[in-house]
Amino acid sequence: MAHKPTVLIVDDEPDLVELVKLTLERMNLATAAAGDLATARRLLGEKRFELCLADMRLPDGDGLDLVAWIQQHQPQVPVAVITAHGNVETAVRALKAGAFDFVSKPLDLGVLRRLVAVAIRLGSDAGAETARLGPQLLGGSPAMDALRALIARVARSQAPVHISGESGTGKELVARLIHSSGARREGPFIPVNCGAIPTALMESELFGYKRGSFTGAVNDKQGLVQSAEGGTLFLDEVADLPLHMQVKLLRVIQEKTVRPVGEQREQPIDVRVLSATHKNLATLVQTGRFREDLYYRINVIDIRVPALREHAGDIPELAAALLRRLSRRLGGEAPALGEDALAALEGYGFPGNVRELENILERALTLCAGDQIEVADLQLRAAPAGAAAEGDAASIVRAAAAAAGAGGGSDLGDQLEHIERDAILKALEQTRYNKTAAARLLGITFRALRYKVKKLGIE
C-alpha cells in the first residue's frame, strides 16, 4: 500500500488542531497531532512526515526551538510555523531559522491549503532537481560549489531571497535555478526589471487595474504579480523601486494579497518573491532611500553571487561554453582559444563579469581570422589609472594585463608594465621562485603568471 502523505500538527489549541485536521483530510492527507515540543520530537523520530505545522507558542517552549531541532535531526521535513496576526518579526525569525513558510492566525484556510500543497509537492520529489544545477551553473571552483549548495538549500524553502552581486555576475540565472529546483517549478517565473518601468505606470503594471479606474483603462488587466500565481516573482534591481511602491510591495509580501488599481477588495496571491540588485541595500537604508522594514522582509535569505575575478580559475570552462553557444548561434564551429589569449583573460579584472566575458568573446569571434583566437582579437580594455593604486598585487597585475591587452604602447601602459614586473618579482622572491605559490599570492592563475613572465622577459 502506498504511503499516504502525513502532516504533523503541533499546537495546544484543540479547536485549531481539529480545524486543520478536517482541512487536510479533505485534501486526502493523513494527520497526527502533538500538544507540546516533547511529543512532537518523539513523533518525528518514530514516523515519516511530509510536513510539520507548528504553533510559535507551545507549553514547553518556542516554535523556533522545533524549527532548529528539525533542521538538525530531520532536515528533509519542511516545517511551517503558525504566527499571531501581524507578527512579522516572528515570521522572519522563523524563516531565517529554516522554516519552509508561515501562516498567520486567524487561519485563512485557502492560504493554508496552498501552503500544504506546495510543501507536499516539495517532499515528494526532494532533491530531484538539484542534479540539474551543474550543467547550468558552470565552474568547479570552491566559490561556485558553495553557490550551488546554497541554491539547493534555499530552493526547499518559500522564504524571500535577496540575490546580491555586481552587474553581470548572473543574478537572474541564480533566481531561475532557485525556481526550477523547487516545488514551484511547474508554475511561472516572472522577471520584473524594477528600473525599466516608468514610475507613473509602476502600480498598474505590477498590480493590474480594473476597467474604468483611469482614462484608457477599457478592460481589466492582470498585473505582473498576479501573473506569477503559483510560481515565482523575480524583482530585478529592486533598489530602483520608488518609496511609495516599496510600501505597497511590503504589504504584498506580508499579507500575501494584492489590490489592483480601482479595486476595493484585496485578492489573495500565492507567489514566492525573489529580488536582486547590484547596489548596497544596507547603505540605501541608512540614507533613507530604501525602507528598512522592506529590506528585512526581502532579505530573509541573502545569496551573494561572486564576481568573476573571485573565481578566475573557472574562466577556461566558461569561455569554452560561451564560445560553443555563440558559434552555434552564428552557425559555425567554435574556434580554439590560444594559450596567450586564455592567459590574458585569466589575468584580466573583468569589471563587467561574465556578461563582459561573453561580449569580449563575441567580438573576438568576429575579429578572429583563423581557427584560433589570439590576444589581439580580444581587445581587452585598459583599466583606469587608479586601478594600480588599489594596493594589492593582484589588482596591479590585472590592471597591467588590461593595458597590455589593449595595446599598451602608451605611457600609462609602460608605467603599469613596470609596476607589474616589480609585483611579480617581489612575489617570486617571497616564494623562493615557486611559480605556483607566487601565482596564488598574486591572486592570478599559474597560466596567467607564466604568460606574464614570458611576456615581460623575467628570468
Q: Which residues of 43-82 are buried (b: 16+ CB within 10 A; e: fewer)?
A: bbeeeebbbbbbbbebeeebbbbbbebbeeebeebbbbbb
Worst-scoring range by mean pLDDT, 90-99, 117-126, 442-451? 117-126
CATH homologous superfamily for 132-304?
A: P-loop containing nucleotide triphosphate hydrolases (3.40.50.300)
Residues 6+ apart with CB under 8 A from 89: none
Helical (H) or strand (E) element with 268? strand 267-268
Report CA Rg, the chain: 27
State the pLDDT at residue 409. 45
- Residues 459, 456: Cα–Cα separation, whole Å: 9
What average pLDDT is seen over the chain? 83
Q: What CA–CA distances, in Å, run from 190 to 135, 187, 352?
A: 23, 10, 25
pLDDT reported for residue 455: 74
* Distance set, CA 275 to CA 164, 194, 207, 304, 336 (Å): 9, 10, 17, 12, 37
**Sorting pLDDT into bands at 50, 70 and 90, what band is 129?**
very low
Average pLDDT over every residue of 262-283:
90
pLDDT of residue 415: 63
Write down the CATH number for the domain with range 309-456.
Answer: 1.10.8.60
In contact, 78 and 49? CB cutoff 8 Å: no
Q: One fold for both 6-124 and 309-456?
A: no
pTM (whole model) above 0.75: no
- Give the residue carrying C-alpha cell 611559480: 435
CATH class, 6-124 region? alpha beta
* Amino acid identity for residue 265 in this structure: R
Domain boundaries, the chain: 6-124, 132-304, 309-456
Q: Is the pLDDT of residue 385 over 50?
A: no
Q: 13-22, 64-73, 258-267, 424-433: lowest mean pLDDT where?
A: 424-433
